[in-house]
Structure 1
């Protein structure tokens, strides 16, 4: 949502306040997106104005909306620590905040008071044909360094200042990596435990602030065990694993017998979801359990489309996109298997 905060409140700093015109443009961009693409379930990050978003999605036909946290407020109008949210056209039957295993966290070397940088939302949604499905909404810790350099030493030389900045960036960047990886690990453990008890299909959506291929988050896609046979993995393990919707889409296209749906290998180029200076990366993901994997014998759905809405980033129109968002929007279409 990129700082979704209604004026006259400010995000992070007292002067960062949308004008009435800017806020109207931001609201319009979101409404236009929902009207054009009509997603059935949508996850949001960087939400400050919860009630405002609730009203907006209701106006677009979303009868179900949930959050599990509130932002922090300083001096009555400066908002920090935004929250995640979910809206759905299907009934949300239960909402909960994911609470990690504190004993496991300490066993991993984390402090007793470890917490997610943003609370993870779990909404159990009544999805057509498969019923109760657990939808997780995340916004993992960013790569922004967790430490700031001590500015007290104003007499430092230019070289000394650079050296201290370097050390702070290295340590602070690693601290953020540890936080992000720990969040993903503890969440995945909770997801597996929940699956064991309920057998609900699983959907994980959000801004991961990291490429999944990076070792920091790669365990979210663990699908093999060294000590387990291939038969056991096929019979049991697949039920507790998550799959990248992009990979499921490619699998579905390659196995399609419909020439109109088949895609050549050269067309399987993944679109970035975030751009920074001259670089780009895929930071936003939708992960799915085996019920949505066409290659799984007991699946109900397959990923028939995978779209990335990024026109506001690569070809923006000021009047339309000035107050949009700094990430592309990932969308998938699930088709019931015949």
Structure 2
């Protein structure tokens, strides 16, 4: 479990100070799949919801209706999410660099796949400029699946202010790219279970969809 934000990723949150501990500590497990070790990291980053200051009893210290204060409160949330993403990224690099053991990152990233904080963890785009980055980059399972890739364009896992979006994601390391010389398997398909998000809010058991990936290891 990752409880402490790595020192290199600690930043000062406005009006709060250094953000040094995960709000929801990521779980890190190393499993053995048919003789192949795989590291799995689950993440649930700080939400985009504005973080207003409160006293020790939980009472608000700020005017939630003041638009300028709302901006500052959302900035706090962004800083927290960025620090968590950066710390997770550094942990991923430590586990991937100069190794050929696969890694899977999954969970509620609380932002879309192409967002700054999500890409801070994955750094997928850097591969376009430097192929050696494949060693430590992560790849969106929905984008590299070998079947039903069209599903990525109709998928969503959350509805925010009436708009569907994918904020629950699953990323894999280079070892699950079929065209990699270090390939140990591939993502065959990714499924999204989200029909319950169409129900009335009060009837929902959970307000997020579920993402599932089928990964086939090479024989």
When the two structures are superposed, what TM-score results if normalisation uses the length of structure 2?
0.82
Matched, 1:180 2:75: no
Q: Which residue of 2 aligns with 1:333?
A: 214
Q: Which residue of 2 aligns with 1:244?
A: 140
The structure having more radius of gyration, on CA atoms, is 1
Q: Distance in 1 between matches of 2:184 and 2:47?
A: 34
Q: Distance in 2 between matches of 1:105 and 1:275?
A: 30
Q: Which residue of 2 aligns with 1:135?
A: 40
Q: Which runs of 5+ in 1 are unaligned?
A: 1-95, 154-160, 254-262
When the two structures are superposed, what TM-score results if normalisation uses the length of structure 1?
0.55
- SS of 2:66's equivalent in the other structure is helix
For these two proteins, the number of residue pairs brought into alignment is: 212
Map 1:50-199; keep pairs closer than 5 Å.
96-97=1-2, 99-102=4-7, 104-106=8-10, 108-109=11-12, 111-112=17-18, 114-129=20-35, 131-148=36-53, 165-196=66-97, 199=100
Matched, 1:273 2:157: yes
Q: CA RMSD in A?
A: 3.2
Residue 222 of structure 1, aligned match among 123, 135, 139: 123
Q: Which residue of 2 aligns with 1:210?
A: 111
Q: 1:282: how far off?
A: 0.8
Contact 1:100–1:190 (CA under 8 A) maintained in structure 2: no
Contact 2:98–2:135 (CA under 8 A) maintained in structure 1: no
Contact 1:309–1:329 (CA under 8 A) maintained in structure 2: yes
Q: Distance in 2 between matches of 1:300 and 1:152?
A: 53
Residue 293 of structure 1, aligned match among 177, 188, 198: 177
Residue 307 of structure 1, aligned match among 180, 187, 191: 191
Contact 2:29–2:40 (CA under 8 A) maintained in structure 1: yes
- SS of 2:116's equivalent in the other structure is coil
Q: Which runs of 5+ in 2 are unaligned?
A: none
